[in-house]
Structure 1
Amino acid sequence: MSDSSVTPDQNVSSGGLLGLLLSLPGSYAGPQTPAQTPYGLVGVGEGTLAAHLLQALALPSLTRSGTQFVLGSPDAATAATDYADLAEVAGASARRISTGGRPDELDMLVPGGPLSTYHFAQAVAYASGHAEQAGLADAAMSDLAARCAPHITENNPARDLAWSLWGRTPLLLAADDADALPHAWQQLLARTGKTLAVPLLGDLLPLAAGAFDARHEQGDAKVALILGDTTPALLVAREILDSRIDEIIHVPAPDGAQGYPAALALWYFGAWVAAYLAERYEAEPADPAVLTRAQAALAGEDVIGDDGEKGRFAAPRDDLRRTRVQEDVSDWDGEDDTDGDDFDDADDQADDQDED
Structure 2
Amino acid sequence: SGFAAARQRDLPLVAITTGGRLAAGTTEAGIPLLQYRLGGQPRAAIGFGVGLVHELLSRAGLIDGPDDLGPVVSALEELLERIGPSVETDANPAKQLAWSIFGRIPVVYGHGAMSAVAHRWKTQLNENAKAWAAWEPMPEANHNAIEGSLNPRELGDALYVVQLRDRAEPAEIAERYHVVEELLGERATSRSEVWADGPSALARVMTGVAYGDLVSVYLAILYQTDPTPVTLLAMLKERLARATGSDPTGATQ
* Aligned residue pair count: 222
CA contact (8 A) 1:193 1:278 kept: yes
Q: Which one is further off, 226-235 or 245-254?
A: 226-235
CA contact (8 A) 1:173 1:224 kept: yes
Q: Deviations over 1:109-134 (max 9, x none)?
A: 33251211121111111222277432
Which residue is equivalent to 2:164?
227
Give the deviation of 1:283 after TM superposition. 0.6
Give the deviation of 1:196 after TM superposition. 1.2
- CA distance in 2: counterparts of 1:177 and 1:263, whole angstroms: 7
Which residue is equivalent to 1:288?
230
CA contact (8 A) 1:221 1:245 kept: no
- CA distance in 1: counterparts of 2:3 and 2:71, whole angstroms: 32
Which residue is equivalent to 2:217?
275
Which residue is equivalent to 1:248?
191
CA contact (8 A) 1:193 1:285 kept: yes
Give the deviation of 1:240 after TM superposition. 2.5
Distance 1:209 1:293, change over 3 A: closer
Structure with bigger RCO (C-alpha 8 Å, 6+ apart): 2
- CA distance in 1: counterparts of 2:19 and 2:236, whole angstroms: 15
Which residue is equivalent to 1:100?
19
CA contact (8 A) 1:133 1:261 kept: no
CA contact (8 A) 1:204 1:234 kept: no
CA contact (8 A) 1:242 1:248 kept: no
Structure 2 SS opposite 1:147: helix
Give the deviation of 1:317 after TM superposition. 5.4
Give the gaps of 5 or more residues in structure 1: 1-78, 298-310, 319-356
Q: Deviations over 1:138-194 (max 9, x none)?
A: 111111111222221131122111111101111111114532112101111001121
- CA distance in 1: counterparts of 2:35 and 2:242, whole angstroms: 25
- CA distance in 2: counterparts of 1:226 and 1:249, whole angstroms: 6
Structure 2 residue 4 is the aligned partner of structure 1 residue 82: yes
- CA distance in 2: counterparts of 1:312 and 1:209, whole angstroms: 36
Give the gaps of 5 or more residues in structure 2: 27-32, 247-253
CA contact (8 A) 1:181 1:263 kept: yes
- The one of 216, 231, 244 aligned to 1:316: 244
Counterpart of 1:316 in structure 2: which amino acid? T
Counterpart of 1:104 in structure 2: which amino acid? A
Aligned-residue sequence identity (percent) comes to 23
CA RMSD of aligned residues (A): 2.5
- CA distance in 2: counterparts of 1:263 and 1:86, whole angstroms: 34
- CA distance in 1: counterparts of 2:151 and 2:188, whole angstroms: 14
Structure 2 SS opposite 1:139: helix
CA contact (8 A) 1:173 1:200 kept: yes
- CA distance in 1: counterparts of 2:113 and 2:82, whole angstroms: 28
Bigger share in helix:
2
- CA distance in 2: counterparts of 1:134 and 1:241, whole angstroms: 40
Q: Deviations over 1:175-232 (max 9, x none)?
A: 1453211210111100112111111236222445421324322211211111132513
Structure 2 residue 98 is the aligned partner of structure 1 residue 162: yes
Structure 2 residue 54 is the aligned partner of structure 1 residue 125: yes
TM-score (norm 1): 0.56
TM-score (norm 2): 0.77
CA contact (8 A) 2:67 2:202 kept: no
Which residue is equivalent to 2:117?
181
Structure 2 residue 179 is the aligned partner of structure 1 residue 236: yes
Give the deviation of 1:289 after TM superposition. 2.7
Counterpart of 2:163 in structure 1: which amino acid? I
- Deviation above 4 Å: which 4+ runs of structure 1? 311-314
- CA distance in 2: counterparts of 1:193 and 1:133, whole angstroms: 33
Structure 2 residue 155 is the aligned partner of structure 1 residue 218: yes
Which residue is equivalent to 1:109?
35
- CA distance in 1: counterparts of 2:5 and 2:207, whole angstroms: 29
Structure 1 SS opposite 2:91: coil
Q: Deviations over 1:333-354 (max 9, x none)?
A: xxxxxxxxxxxxxxxxxxxxxx
Aligned counterparts, 1:26-37, within 5 A: none
